[in-house]
Amino acid sequence: MNLNRLKEGRPFKTVSNFGEIATITACLMINAKVICSNDFDIRTIVTQEDFRVLIDEQDVLIKQDSAEDFCVYCYQKEIASRKSVRNFYKSIIFESQQRDSKL
């Protein structure tokens, strides 16, 4: 992954990627087709390494949704009220300008 980052002119990543490794490993172990994470390096790794799970007898690339996507789904599928979703979103997104523009 770092070689691709350097080719793209992005800085070299100096951490060991334990979070990404653990998240992708958990998805593969339980055959989960969606990762909910704002760590977009996960998407890069899934795409580069072609990590897939078996869903309805088809190999499917693991999909990544953000916390914002999760909130939208909870509201659309009537899992939680709009107020609860907004409060949850406010508690996990700290950049108030970005957050407030999406509420």
Residues 13 and 50 placed together within one structural domain of the fold: yes
Note the pTM of the prediction, 2 decimals: 0.61
pLDDT of res. 79: 93
Which residues, other chains included, contact 6 with Cβ-Cβ below 8 Å and sequence gap of 6+? 12
Residue pLDDT, tens place only, 61-76: 999 888 888 899 899 9
Residues 49 and 34 placed together within one structural domain of the fold: yes
- CA 38/CA 94 separation, integer angstroms: 13
By the 10 Å C-beta count (0-12 exposed, 13-18 middle, 19+ buried), 23 is classed as: buried
Residues 43 and 90 placed together within one structural domain of the fold: no
Report the domain count for the chain: 2
Q: Per residue of the chain (103 residues), what is the pLDDT tens digit?
A: 566 767 777 776 666 678 888 888 898 999 988 888 888 888 888 888 899 999 899 999 999 888 888 899 899 999 999 999 989 888 887 666 665 566 5
Instruction: Say what the alpha-carbon torsion angle 27, 35, 23, 54 is, to the nearest 10 degrees.
Output: 20
